Amino acid sequence: MSSYIRYCLVLCALILASAAAFPAQTPKVPTQIPGRDAIFIGDAWYPEQWPESRWEEDLRLMEAANIRMVRIAEFAWSRMEPSEGHYDFEWLDRAIALAAKHNIVVVLGTPTATPPAWLTQKYPDVLRVEENGERAIHGMRAHGSGSSPRYRELCRKITEQMALRYGHNPHVAGWQIDNEQGYAQMSYDEETRRQFQEYLQDKFKTLEDLNTHWTTAYWSQTYDTWQEIPIPVPLESHNPGLALEWKRFTTKTWFDYHKDQIDVLRAHIDPRQFITANFMGFFGGFDHYELSTLLSFASWDDYVGSGHVDRYSNGLTHDLTRGFKRENFWVMETQPGMVNWSPLNNFLNKGEVRAMAWQAIAHGSDGVAYWQWRGALNGQEQIHGSLLGADGTPLPVYAEIQQLGKEFAKVQEAFRGTRPISQVALLNDYDSRWALDLQRHTQKYDYVNVLRSYYQALRPLTQSLDVISPDAPLDSYQLVVAPSLYLIPEARARQLLEFARNGGHLVLGPRAGMKDEFSALLPQRQPGFLVDALGGRVEQFYALEKDFPISGAWGSGESTIWAEQLGKQSPETQVLMKYGKSNGWLDEQPAVLTRAYGKGRITYIGALLDEELMTAAAQWMVKESGVAPVFGPVPSDIEVSRRMGAGKQVFVLINFAQEARTVPLPRTMKLLISDKESNRVELPPYGVEVLAEK
């Protein structure tokens, strides 16, 4: 079978599988809006902050910058409902119509991150209670309590009014729920505690079960009534089982909060209108996989803050967001040069804003929207980066964004219907991250950094990588890597084993399989239910005071931060790496084990490795799994990515170096940005090229 036919079959299977996984109430709405640009730029626009006489000029300048989308209204509650039950939408009708006149579609934000002053005055109980017991005060944002029934009711009401008004408006493409959910965390009040207890009762059914799973005999924690169970504050001082359930309850709270609004919207809006939420990358406040089941697609807000774009961290976060629904996504906000909230609000270098946008597209985003169009004359964010200055005319970065918009317009057809498809997946698990964060054992063991170190080693070799939940289907992958999969309950172990049995290569990083789903230790050694298949186990783990030598099949280097002494238990298990002279316990002991399993393989890496060894490890994993790079060799500063669609593929090359680079191509290709054919590409610093087959 030709690789092209095989690719088409895999693509069809993936499309069918993702359609089947969709709950009926979540219509699948494409990230590429039918009849509109396949990839586009947009911005956050706040017409309520300006006299109406100014709007036309704003939209004219947007159109001239090739901006095709505006997100509006997400903070405009007091303008839409100036007093309780009195709505004023006429200004918004006019703003939407005017945007349409300039060929700009609208995304409406529900304004529930900023309840008006009349509301919080009249209903002070809707204000969030902080961990220290104090109520939030009006004047900031995200001060409403996500678990307050009254607040939720008020949120539903304003959402319903908006849905009734704009659910069939042809210029409204979709909706964003609230803004950066979880930004201000949970409310720590009695009502929330009651709901938490109810959640626990619903989950465990009996106190006996709860007491057993949490081993509450320890420190006299035994609960005789549900009402005795506290909200765990501070989280890290409490029972790990209780703490993990609190994090899960946080997910449930934000899930219900979103569902409330989504149900109201779906009752009134056209199925063609999408519903999304603007996530905050690796923010760990809730399980994004669960919340994403409610959405048409995921979005995120991509900010650098201080410094410059780190291609690996940024690429990883794009891939994370794509993995929430295993679909393309949007960057709903990104900085037009600088922010106003980080320790040093430096401006990105000339060309960096454009490179950053192209990186988003390369990793599967179909839209990139700038925050914000123009700074309000007053308000907390008046000197944040924007496209226009206080005088209402373009700032220097406007020209760069305008050029980007022109380029997007030029390559529309190459990107239509395409998305990244990979043979390699990194597993990301919120439960494992939370449980580990509560018991790092060494503060240096940072879950996200460990994930990033694996990503940085693997991404240049594969040139395509998915980041997915361990509960996602794994059968389309050849290599699945789980850097810190702390929680491996039996069902999860079964799914991982099935993947390896069917021919996949499963690589476990340190700390794998120590706990069950209640954050209780498994009554086996690590990796728990996978010990027999691996033919090996963790004898003892060590938080390292300093780096120790390690050597073997991948060369010689250092193990750093964390080292596990492994024990080989089967003659079929191979020791790939051993520790050198270190703390006595680890001397000459196995650090990496691998074993053929079914048609595939299981590998366990017990140590964190220095950068060079991590690269060597990644080279071995990729080779052993038969994974080929999606493009071919490129200089190390160049990021190459691929998107595929029916019968086509398109590559994006980005030069992240501060100097020019030449990239030889494997064959003569079309260079879509420079409009020529060539077998090489010259890229200036932050240069970008898009390649298609001739």
* Radius of gyration from C-alpha coordinates of the chain: 26
Check if 539 is active-site: no
Q: Which of 180, 400, 558, 564 is catalytic?
A: 180
Interface residues with ligand GLA (CB under 6 A)?
A: 179-180, 301, 303, 333, 339, 341, 371, 381, 384
**381 or 610, CB closer to ligand GLA?**
381
- The residue type found at 181 is Q
Q: 352-362 and 396-410 helices cross at what angle (nearest 10)?
A: 30
Count of helices and strands (H, E) across the chain: 19, 25
Provide the minimum distance between the beta carbon of 180 and ligand GLA in the complex, in angstroms, as a whole number: 5
| 339 or 468: CB nearest ligand GLA | 339
DSSP secondary structure, 419-455, as one string = B---SEEEE--HHHHHHHHHT-SSTT--HHHHHHHHH
> CB–CB of 226/205 below 8 Å?
no
For residue 608, give the amino acid letter: L
The nearer residue to ligand GLA, 7 or 50, going by C-beta atoms, is 50
Give the CA distances from residue 284 to residues 112, 299, 322, 439, 505, in Å, rounded to whole numbers and listed in that order: 21, 16, 16, 16, 28
β-pairing, 548-552 vs 505-508, is unpaired
Cα dihedral value 645, 650, 651, 654, nearest 10: -110
The DSSP string of 18-79 is: HHHHS-TTS----SS-TTS-SSEEEEE--GGGS-HHHHHHHHHHHHHTTEEEEEE-TT-HHH
CA distance 379 to 370: 18
Nearer to ligand GLA, 326 or 384 (CB): 384
Q: Is 180 a catalytic residue?
A: yes
DSSP state letters, 587-643: TT-EEEEEEEETTEEEEEE-EEE-HHHHHHHHHHHHHHTT---SS----TTEEEEEE
Q: Choose, from 48, 333, 400, 639, the residue flagged as catalytic.
A: 333
Nearer to ligand GLA, 339 or 457 (CB): 339
Q: Nearest distance from residue 79's CB to ligand GLA, in Å?
A: 16
Smallest distance, ligand GLA to C-beta of residue 78, A:
16
Task: CB nearer to ligand GLA: give 342 or 439.
Answer: 342
Q: Checking DSSP bridges between strand 466-468 and strand 424-427, what pairing results, if any?
A: parallel
Query: Closest separation between CB of residue 395 and ligand GLA, Å?
Result: 16
**Please, what is the minimum distance in Å from the beta carbon of residue 582 to ligand GLA?**
45
Closest to ligand GLA by CB, 74 or 429: 74
DSSP string, 558-593: EEEEEEEEEEE-STT-EEEEEE-SSSSSSTT-EEEE
Is the Cβ of residue 280 or residue 544 nearer to ligand GLA in the bound state?
280
The CB-of-345 to ligand GLA minimum distance in angstroms stands at 10
**b or e along 594-633 (b: 16 or more beta carbons within 10 Å of the residue's beta carbon)?**
bbebeebbbbbbbbbbbeebbbbbbebbbeebebeebbee
Residue nearest ligand GLA by beta-carbon distance: 301
Nearer to ligand GLA, 341 or 585 (CB): 341
How many C-beta atoms lie closer than 10 Å to residue 2's C-beta?
7
Nearer to ligand GLA, 9 or 140 (CB): 140
**CA–CA separation, 609 vs 452, rounded Å?**
13
Q: What is the 3-state secondary structure (H, E, C) of 642-673?
A: EEEECCEEEEEEEECCCCCEEEEEEEEEEECC
Q: Which is nearer to ligand GLA, 241 or 375 (CB)?
A: 375
- SS3 for 207-267 is HHHHHHHCCCCHHHCCCCCHHHCCCCCCHHHCCHHHHHHHHHHHHHHHHHHHHHHHHHHHH
Euclidean distance between CA atoms 310 and 224, whole angstroms: 51
Nearest distance in Å: CB 651, ligand GLA: 30
Give yes or no for a contact between 113 and 128, defined as CB atoms under 8 angstroms apart: no
Q: How far apart are CA 593 and CA 604, in angstroms?
A: 5
* Active site amino acids: 180, 333
